[in-house]
Structure 1
Amino acid sequence: MQILLYILTTLAVFVTMEGVTWLTHKYIMHGFGWYFHEDHHQPGYPHVFEKNDAFFVVFAIPSMLLFYFGTWHGLNYLFFIGLGILMYGTAYFLIHDVLIHRRFKWFDNTNNYYLKGLRKAHKIHHKHLGKEKGENFGMLYVPIRYFKM
């Protein structure tokens, strides 16, 4: 029974991270954190790393702390909260950096219906080079209209 609660905790945190990502992207990255996110919206940014990659650290630190404290006196629920954040971060890296922006050329030949919708929604997000007038701030949730385009 305990393992089922840990699995459900991990999955709930993973799903919740989509909302956290949306809020962070809209109100922090396109708000007071624009300085770090702006280079991500510039076409043909020539560097391997972007200032935007600093946000990776923002999400990695809580996950690492939760792993640490989640094993402090034996395994507890904090570990699985950290695991949910780590799993979402891994999905974010694979979807956003590898598949959408192709910073790594690993999945170049996909014809998956869902992944095509993700790419379209993200392309619409990046058509605005400034921090205003943005849309599609999440990563895994894609409005249905992008599958019909």
Structure 2
Amino acid sequence: MTTGYWILIFFLTFCAMEFMAWFTHKYIMHGFLWSLHKDHHKKDHDSWFERNDTFFIFYAIVSMSFFSAAVYKGFWFGWPIGFGIMAYGAIYFLVHDIFIHQRFKIFRDAPNRYAKGVRRAHKMHHKHAGKEEGECFGMLMVPFKYFKKG
């Protein structure tokens, strides 16, 4: 295994996770597992935790499974894939839960265009409280129209 392959696989996995997040959000969270995701759109409980948080657990298990395959099966690709999934999850948590939804009261304002565009796109996604008629299901890559000044 060379470092170049490791970095390439890590980067490709990280980028693929944006597609996986979009796909999972649009077709699974707003589909047959809406029962776990709906409390994220319309809070119906007093807890800091949401049923929606179970999706993080799923991806953590997938990431750990790749680490396990690397350790116990000699599948060296498991390391960069597992770390790519884990890194995307960490960035997703920082952007979605901390920056956008302010589950921790830090990073309240970001003076750059990208951060404002991501926040604007997510606000448009939450404009719809139901499972249908949603838009902007991605997290880090959103339509350019949300990056315009204004």
- TM-score band by shorter chain is over 0.9
Once the two structures are overlaid, the 10-residue window that deviates more, 52-61 or 67-76, is 67-76
Q: CA deviation at 1:87?
A: 0.4
Give the Å deviation of 1:47.
2.2
Provide the aligned length of Structure 1 versus Structure 2: 149
Match of 1:14 in 2: 14
* Inter-CA distance 23–75: structure 2 relative to 1 (3 Å threshold): closer
Q: TM-score, normalised on structure 2?
A: 0.93
Aligned equivalent of 1:47: 47
Deviation at 1:69? 1.5
Contact 1:70/1:80 (8 A) holds in 2 = no
Once superposed, which parts of structure 1, at least 4 consecutive aligned residues long, lie more than 3 Å away? 43-46
Q: Which moved more, 1:77-86 or 1:103-112?
A: 103-112
Residue correspondence of structure 1 range 69-148 to structure 2 within 5 A: 69-72=69-72, 76-148=76-148
What residue ranges of structure 1 are gaps of 5+ in the alignment?
none
> What letter matches 1:86 in structure 2?
M
Structure 2: runs of 5+ lacking an equivalent: none
Looking at structure 2, the residues matched to 132 and 11 of structure 1 have their Cα atoms a distance apart, in angstroms, of: 32
Q: Which residue of 1 aligns with 2:29?
A: 29
Query: Once the two structures are aligned, what percentage of the paired residues are identical?
Result: 51
Deviation track 1:28-74 (CA, whole Å, cap 9, x = no partner) reads 00000000000000158642100000101111101011112112266
Q: Which amino acid aligns with 2:41?
A: H
Distance 2:55 2:65 in 1: 16
What letter is aligned with 2:2? Q
